Every structure is written in C-alpha cells, then in structure tokens.
Amino acid sequence: MSVGPLNRRMGGAACVTIALLAMVALLAACGGSSGAHPTPLYVKEVDAVANGIDSVTNDLYTPTDASSAAAELATVEAALRKAAGRLAAITPPPTIRADHARLVKAMTELADGVTPVIAKLKAGDLEAAVSAFSLKGVRDARTAIAAINRAGYKIDFPLLG
C-alpha cells in the first residue's frame, strides 16, 4: 500500500475518517431552500428523493479503516443509484426539463465515480477517499440544481445542492 504525505502525518484510520466526513460536508455545503414556486409538486417530489439520500448519509458511522470506509461508501453509492432512478421517474415542468435531465445524469455519474473509489479502498488505498472530492458528478449536480433553483423551483438537495 502506498502511504502518501497525508497518511504519514495523520495515520490511516484518521485519514479515511476525515476524508469521508469532509466529503459528506462538502456535498452538503450548498443545499437549497424550498420556498414558493409555480409547481410545488415537482419540488416536493425532488425533495423527497433528496431526503432519502440525506437519511442514508445521516446514518453513516465513522469508519476506522479502508475496509469499513469502502462499506460506508458502498451504502452511499446504492442510495445515489436509487435516487437517480427515482428522479428519472419524475416529470419536470417543461421549462426545466433539460436541467432535470442533467440532475438525473449527474446522480448516475456520481454513483459511477464512487465505484472506483470503493475498489481502491477495498484494496487498502486509504488515499482514495480524498479523490471523492473531485468527482465530476458533484460538480454537474450542483450546476443542475443551481439552474433549477434559478428557474424558480427551489429544490432542497442538502447532499448535492
């Protein structure tokens, strides 16, 4: 196993714990707020999906090693895939159809991006958790959510918003 500078300074378990906690905090950092909007049903449906992901991440415990971190991240990956399916089943208002499609795609991208991180953690690569910060799906989801919010549909997506 390669031991990077972060690992040498902090120890393996501490590195994994900090990286995963920071990833969840980073993803939660820019949540929207639900408010008045022209189509409340759409916002309620998307918020229900977001709350499902939020409840999964709230139940996570602090991993102590790469193996337990991989198991925690696998739980998040499954929740993201389920959320992508639930979002795909929602019919968005015509004015935000393209942005909603981008959100669905971003959720799938995020789950796909987590898959190799899990494999690396299972192989004992503690530094892999840090790579989760730069996943393309996070950026794409934030872009789609911001566009939906600018259009007047204030979705509350704490994990990705």
Domain ranges of the chain: 5-150
Q: What is the pLDDT of residues 92-138, one digit of tens each?
A: 999 999 999 999 999 999 999 999 999 999 998 877 777 776 788 98
pLDDT of residue 158: 73
The Cα-based distances of 150 to 17, 91, 93, 143 in angstroms read 35, 18, 14, 11
CA separation for the pair 15, 1 (Å, rounded) = 14
Task: Give me the average pLDDT of each 10-residue run along the chain (161 residues).
Answer: 46 52 45 48 94 79 82 91 96 96 95 92 84 83 94 82 51
User: How does DSSP assign the chain, residue by residue?
Assistant: ----HHHHHH-HHHHHHHHHHHHHHHHHTT-------S-HHHHHHHHHHHHHHHHHHHT-----SHHHHHHHHHHHHHHHHHHHHHHHTS---GGGHHHHHHHHHHHHHHHHHHHHHHHHHHTT-GGGGGGGGG-HHHHHHHHHHHHHHHTT-----TTT-
Per-residue tokens: 42:
């759409």
Mean pLDDT, rounded, of the chain = 79
